[in-house]
Amino acid sequence: MMDCKEIFESLSEYIDEELKDAACRQIEVHLADCENCRVVVNTLRRTVTLYHEIPSETLPGDVRLRLHKMIRMEHPKD
Amino acid sequence: MKPDLLNDAELVDLAQEGDGSAMEELVSRYEDKVYNLAVRMVGNREDAEDVLQDTFLNVIRSLGSFRGKSSFSTWLYRITANAALTRLRKRSRKEKSEGEFLDEVYSVKQAAQSGERLNDWSDSPAKRLLSEEAKAMMGEAINELPEKYRTVFVLRDVEGLPASDVAEILDLSVPAVKSRLHRARMFLRNHLSHYYAGEME
């Protein structure tokens, strides 16, 4: 059976579902027996979803105005 | 035809011929994405505005040499990432060494194997995990990532680009992107774990 060290490097590919079936099964066999690795997988997956859930920064109106002013100076309309 | 009905490649062609409204349409189409990427990369809004301006200035100045080998958005993201890195380097910030960074990444492996019980905060309510304070901590944690890990993480996990696009933008192999992404995620996972553990006490 694979140990914690061996599965460690593949955990992102595991949560992204990018591993081949055999590799995936080996990880699942290990996870069934190793509580700490299950915690790492759960919290790693949650870390990724939390960063997805942070709302995008909206471009402030004054910043947009300054940007477009610069664009028109650099690339004037005909 | 109205610029907003044209695709990126058509707008690029027109902008290369000197059409100012085509250029402005390209800017309007991507300014929000570029700004968001800039804020995540440099960690504050003031520097992000500079990155935004530098990016589109570079786009205007080098549009003549853009040959369409990659898509406009890939090319634009590359320019944005480079502008953000240039801005970061201007600050006299001290980046973690590779060794320090990897020690932190792998600290959980040692903890897991030593028999210490790791704390599972993953099913705590989103309200707690994404409190205003927690969101600020998550931003600071990105700032702790060394450049090469930060760029990959922000493009892949914050902007949601496929690994193959990130590889093209940064001129890396897909396995290199995946390996950097994994280390960045593990590092951030550790930061979040420390924070949420402290909060639960």
Q: What pLDDT score was predicted for residue B16? A: 93
ipTM of this complex prediction, to 2 decimal places: 0.91
pLDDT, average across residues B22-27: 94
Residues B25 and B62 placed together within one structural domain of the fold: yes
State how many domains chain B has.
2
Among the three residues B37, B63, B90, which one is the final residue of a domain in this structure? B90
Quick: pLDDT tens for B42-86: 999 999 999 999 999 999 999 999 988 889 999 999 999 999 999
- Name the residue in chain B with its Cα closest to that of A64: B31
Q: Determine the Cα–Cα distance for residues B35 and B21; give it in Å rounded to an integer.
A: 21
Residues B8 and B80 placed together within one structural domain of the fold: yes
Mind giving me the DSSP string for B94-119?
PPPPHHHHHHHHHHHHHHHHTTPPPP
Task: Using a CB–CB cutoff of 8 Å, tell me whether A13 touches chain B.
Answer: yes
CATH number of the domain that residue B102 is part of: 1.10.10.10
Among the three residues B90, B108, B134, which one is the final residue of a domain in this structure? B90
Q: In this predicted model, which residue has the larger pLDDT, B41 or A3?
A: B41
pLDDT band for position B201 (cuts 50, 70, 90): very low
**Closest C-alpha to B164, from B176, B151, B154, B147:** B176
Residues B113 and B188 placed together within one structural domain of the fold: yes
CATH number of the domain that residue B27 is part of: 1.10.1740.10
Q: Look over chain B and give the mean of its residue pLDDT values, rounded to a whole number.
A: 92
Domain that residue B42 falls in: 3-90
Candidates A5, A7, A12, A34: best to mutate against B (most CBs of B within 10 A) is A12
Residues B44 and B106 placed together within one structural domain of the fold: no
Task: Using a CB–CB cutoff of 8 Å, tell me whether A11 touches chain B.
Answer: yes
Task: Using a CB–CB cutoff of 8 Å, tell me whether A69 touches chain B.
Answer: no
Quick: pLDDT tens for A11-59: 999 999 999 999 999 999 999 999 999 999 999 999 999 999 888 889 9
Residues B86 and B57 placed together within one structural domain of the fold: yes
Quick: pLDDT tens for A56-75: 889 999 999 999 999 988 87
Q: What pLDDT score was predicted for residue B200? A: 56
Candidates A17, A40, A78: best to mutate against B (most CBs of B within 10 A) is A40
Residues B82 and B102 placed together within one structural domain of the fold: no
Q: Determine the Cα–Cα distance for residues A42 and A72; give it in Å rounded to an integer.
A: 49
How far CA B116 is from CA of A2, A10, A17, A36, in Å, comes to: 20, 22, 28, 8
Residues B196 and B107 placed together within one structural domain of the fold: yes
Residues B126 and B192 placed together within one structural domain of the fold: yes
Please report the residues numbered 27 through 66 in chain B whose beta carbons come closer than 8 angstroms to any beta carbon of chain A. Answer: 27, 31-32, 35-36, 39-40, 45, 48-49, 52-53, 56-57, 60-61
Q: What pLDDT score was predicted for residue B90? A: 86
Please report the residues numbered 1 through 20 in chain B whose beta carbons come closer than 8 angstroms to any beta carbon of chain A. Answer: 15, 18-20
Task: Using a CB–CB cutoff of 8 Å, tell me whether B132 touches chain A.
Answer: no
Quick: pLDDT tens for B122-148: 999 989 999 999 999 999 999 999 999
Residues B127 and B57 placed together within one structural domain of the fold: no
pLDDT for A78 beyond 70: no
Q: What's B91's DSSP letter?
A: S
pLDDT for B114 beyond 90: no
pLDDT, average across residues B23-37: 95
Q: Determine the Cα–Cα distance for residues B146 and B136; give it in Å rounded to an integer.
A: 18
Q: What pLDDT score was predicted for residue A76? A: 63
pLDDT band for position B93 (cuts 50, 70, 90): confident
Residues B111 and B196 placed together within one structural domain of the fold: yes
Q: What pLDDT score was predicted for residue A77? A: 57
Cβ <8 Å between A54 and B138: yes
Residues B48 and B140 placed together within one structural domain of the fold: no
Q: What pLDDT score was predicted for residue B106? A: 87
Nearest to B35 among A57, A70, A75 (CB): A57
Quick: pLDDT tens for B164-199: 999 999 999 999 999 999 999 999 999 999 999 876
Domain that residue A42 falls in: 4-74
Tokens representing B18 are: 């000197």
Q: What's B130's DSSP letter?
A: T
B4-36 in b/e form (b: 16+ CB < 10 A) is: eebebeebbebbeeebbbbbbbbbebbbebbbb
State how many domains chain A has.
1
Residues B59 and B124 placed together within one structural domain of the fold: no
Among the three residues B90, B120, B149, which one is the final residue of a domain in this structure? B90
Nearest to B35 among A37, A59, A70 (CB): A59
Torsion of CA B139, B145, B149, B151, to 10 degrees: 40
